[in-house]
Amino acid sequence: MGDIYVKNYLFAEPSIFEGVARILDFGNNMSVYNKSSSDDVADEKAIFNDWAAIGDDFRFSIEMYEQEKTTNNIKG
């Protein structure tokens, strides 16, 4: 199962390329963030994504535990 959590969904990640491009960004047009249609929608997305991160961590831990158990069974 793939990850549900979307990392830093509000903005594009900075890079050296973006830094060079900022030399000509006199109007600060590169500092743009993902906006939502309303505060409620923004909250919904943020809360969902926070829980998705925790859910992904849970799934990762369950997979790790299963692997650990399988390895122990093979050894034991």
Partner 1 sequence: MSKKKQQTISRGKNSNGHEVVSIERRVFSGPLPHPDILKGFDDIVPGAAERIIKMAETQMTHRISIESRVINADIKSSKRGVIFGFIIAILMISAGVIITVEGEPVVGGIIMSTTLVSLVGVFVIGSRGQSKERVEKENKIQDRINLD
Instruction: Summarize as ranges the residues that interact with partner 1 (CB under 8 A).
Output: 4-9, 11-25, 29-30, 32-34, 44-45, 48-49, 51-62, 64-65, 69
Question: Going by C-beta distance under 8 Å and a sequence separation of 6 or more, which residues neighbour residue 54?
Answer: none
Long-range contact pairs involving 27-33 (C-beta distance under 8 Å, separation at least 24): none
* CB 56, min distance to partner 1, A: 8
What type of residue sits at position 32?
Answer: V
User: What is the rounded CA–CA span in Å between residue 44 and residue 68?
Assistant: 36
* CB 28, min distance to partner 1, A: 12
* Residue closer to partner 1, measured from CB, 12 or 71: 12
* CB 16, min distance to partner 1, A: 4
